[in-house]
Amino acid sequence: MAALAQTDWSTVQTPVFTVDVARMDANIAATAAIFAEAGVSLRPHFKTSKCVQVAQRQRAAGAIGFTCSTPAEVRELTAAGFTGLLWAHQPVGPGKVEFVVEMAAGLTIIVDSFAVAEPISQAATAAGVTVGYLLDIDTGQGRTGVLPANALAVQNQLKTLPGIELRGVITHEGQLAGYLGDRSALDIAGTDVGARLAAVAAELGAAGHECAIVSVGSTPGMRSAPFAEGVTEGRPGTYVYFDGNQTALGSCEIGQCASSVVTRVVSVNRDGSAIIDAGSKAMSADSISKMKGAGTLVNLDGSPVSDLQFIETNEEHGFLAGSGTDRLKVGDLLRVIPHHACGTTNMWSKLLAVHPDGHTEEWPIVGRH
């Protein structure tokens, strides 16, 4: 019996963002084992949980540090005593350059051009600090990053800047979501990403730019990219909860999804329809995997609900359709597995951690802005 079915919901106001602690701990342990098998370090992305209590469990399972997407995440983890922090976003514009210089002693950043690096070099030199960076490589996502063929030329330019120091190379293989429906092609592409990043590191090393860190990072790619020769670390984030998107991509089973929104039926006045109290402000339907609807409905015990579909949202209302609406009554409880775990986290200021015996604890979600 799943933990959420053991919980007494009679006094719990809905909607509420929950995490099944046993499932999360299983995801943490299984991923730590994958990285141990690959012989590669794990620096999970904090954006998925934004929760110190979750990060502590990841660290206890061997995470060497954390990847962050914003200064706020870096600040929260630093204040909580975490080390080995990587801010994996281009630090451009007011506030961010100052932040990098202030945090230089405990932070590695990423850059993908001279234009990004020059203001940091100037500020670091003026402050008398050295900022460590990874050169961001575009291995196919087409977002930030230098194309592999241009990496050496860009690094040769960066080398002329004082106050900054190369620590390695990084890529985010977000393009793997494009292999929806063909998991073996996804795995081959993931291994290829790792190999191409390692080849860039080798080319830079041969030219005198030593790359101690060769960092890949994604949940779809965590069983492939870290296994390529020369990769030193991986940065999956979503794995800690998994979500509907990762289920569709073949990264997990629905039964491994640890985060969900518990919701109540609030209106059943029309045949073939029911309304719940969880809408677009309760969860992210952001879909990298062409998932339909607003989320996947399951019962409190995690069993599937195949005769109900979550078809649409208003802000605080969810629209359910399907033959199962006939049996629903006002007050009935359901759970929604979000399509996108990380976007859902960012909508909540706390989560309800549900322990295996059903007892619950509130854990703060931090660094949202």
Is residue 113 within 8 Å of residue 146, measured between CB atoms?
A: yes
With H, G, I as helix, E, B as strand and everything else as coil, classify residue 261.
strand
Rounded to the nearest whole angstrom, what is the least distance from the CB of residue 255 to ligand PLP in the complex?
Answer: 19
Closest CA to 213 of 224, 227, 197, 237: 197
Pick the closer one to ligand PLP by CB: 45 or 209: 45
CB 335 within 8 A of CB 358: no
Site string for ligand PLP, 151-190 (x = CB under 6 A): ---------------------x------------------
Counting contacts by CB under 6 A, is residue 50 touching ligand PLP?
no
Least spacing, CB of residue 286 vs ligand PLP, in Å: 11
Strand partners, 318: 276, 313
Chain-centre distance of CA 148, in angstroms? Answer: 25
Given the complex with ligand PLP, which of 72 and 321 has the nearer CB atom?
72
- 116: nearest Cα among 95, 100, 92: 92
Q: Give the residue with the Cβ less far from ligand PLP, 17 or 87.
A: 87
Q: Rank residues 140 and 217 by Cβ distance to ligand PLP and give the closer one.
A: 217
- Residue 133, φ and ψ in degrees, nearest 5: -135, 155
Closer by beta carbon to ligand PLP, 190 or else 237: 237
Q: How far is CA 351 from CA 112, 208, 264, in A?
A: 35, 48, 17
Residues 6+ apart with CB under 8 A from 159: 166, 209
> Residue 302 CB, nearest distance to ligand PLP (Å)?
22
Helix (H, G, I), strand (E, B) or coil at 188: helix
The correct pick among 74, 88, 137, 214 for binding ligand PLP (CB under 6 A) is 88
Q: Which is nearer to ligand PLP, 172 or 196 (CB)?
A: 172
In the chain, which residue ranges form alpha helices assigned H by DSSP? 3-6, 21-38, 52-60, 71-79, 96-102, 114-127, 151-158, 183-206, 244-248, 341-345
Per-residue binder mask for ligand PLP (CB under 6 A), 216-255, x = binder = -xxx---------------xxxx-----------------
Q: Is 67 in the site for ligand PLP (CB under 6 A)?
A: yes
CA distances from 242 to 41, 68, 127, 248, 341 (A): 20, 18, 42, 11, 7
**Toward ligand PLP, which CB reaches closer, 148 or 279?**
148
For ligand PLP, the binding residue among 45, 167, 264, 335 (CB under 6 A) is 45
User: What interhelical angle do 183-206 and 151-158 show, nearest 10?
Assistant: 40
Minimum distance from residue 155 beta carbon to ligand PLP (Å): 19
Each residue 271-310 as x (binds ligand PLP by CB under 6 A) or -, in order, gives ----------------------------------------
Q: Are the beta carbons of 197 and 216 closer than 8 angstroms?
A: yes
User: C-beta of 44: minimal distance to ligand PLP in Å?
Assistant: 8
Work out how close the CB of 237 gets to ligand PLP at its nearest, in angstroms, rounded to a whole number. Answer: 4
C-beta of 364: minimal distance to ligand PLP in Å? 21
Q: Please state the closest distance from residue 217 (CB atom) to ligand PLP, in A.
A: 3
CA distances from 326 to 266, 298, 335 (A): 14, 17, 18
**Smallest distance from ligand PLP to CB 67, Å:** 5
Residue count at the site for ligand PLP (CB under 6 A)?
11
Beta bridge partners of 360: 354
The stretch near ligand PLP (CB under 6 A) out of 54-62, 122-130, 212-220, 295-303 is 212-220
Q: Which is nearer to ligand PLP, 56 or 69 (CB)?
A: 69
Q: Please state the closest distance from residue 128 (CB atom) to ligand PLP, in A.
A: 29
Q: Which residues bind ligand PLP (CB under 6 A)?
A: 45, 67, 88, 172, 217-219, 235-238
